[in-house]
């Protein structure tokens, strides 16, 4: 089974967390699910560099990576995902959704109201317990 290594950002602004929703997809397990933005680490990049690049590509904003939160290992039906999650700060700028169909800014105690992608669920649980 293929393993994919990705990074994800828990982006904070004014004590709210950015949540983004995927578009419809042929794979039902990710179609229209909510997630923390991010993407694949390219050869030669640090995880932090990959995260800054991916957020710029997906949301057209710059972030500051502030701390490592956790690594999630999750097996989907057709691949294994290793996801390194970082807390990040968005100070300013207007988000443009280049790869997602919706966004919400939620307080930590509201996060469980969304239908999250399975790999993101442990992150939500960890944030809500902190």
**85 Cβ partners below 8 Å, 6+ apart?**
7, 8, 9, 10, 36, 68, 69, 70, 71, 72, 123
Residue predicted with more confidence, 94 or 130: 94
SS3 14: coil
Q: What is the CATH number of the domain that holds 73?
A: 3.90.79.10
Residue 58: its pLDDT value, please? 97
Q: 92-109, pLDDT tens digit by residue?
A: 789 999 999 999 999 999
- How many domains does the structure of the chain reveal? 1
Task: Indicate whether 59 pLDDT > 80.
Answer: yes
Structural domain span for residue 114? 3-129
- pLDDT band of 80, cuts 50, 70, 90: very high
Report the Cα–Cα distance between both ends of the chain, in Å, rounded.
Answer: 33
pLDDT at residue 93, as a whole number: 83
Provide mean pLDDT across the span 64-72. Answer: 97
């Amino acid at each position: 089974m293929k393993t994919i290594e990705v990074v994800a950002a828990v982006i904070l602004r004014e004590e709210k967390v950015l949540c983004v929703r995927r578009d419809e997809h042929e794979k039902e397990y990710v179609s229209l699910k909510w997630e923390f933005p991010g993407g694949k680490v390219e050869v030669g990049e640090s995880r932090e560099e990959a995260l800054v690049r991916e957020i710029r590509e997906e949301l057209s904003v710059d972030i500051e990576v502030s701390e490592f939160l956790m690594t999630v290992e999750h097996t989907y039906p057709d691949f294994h995902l290793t996801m390194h999650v970082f807390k990040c700060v968005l100070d300013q700028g207007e988000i443009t959704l280049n790869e997602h169909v919706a966004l919400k800014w939620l307080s930590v105690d509201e996060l469980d109201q969304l239908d999250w992608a399975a790999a993101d669920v442990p992150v939500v649980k960890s944030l809500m317990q902190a």
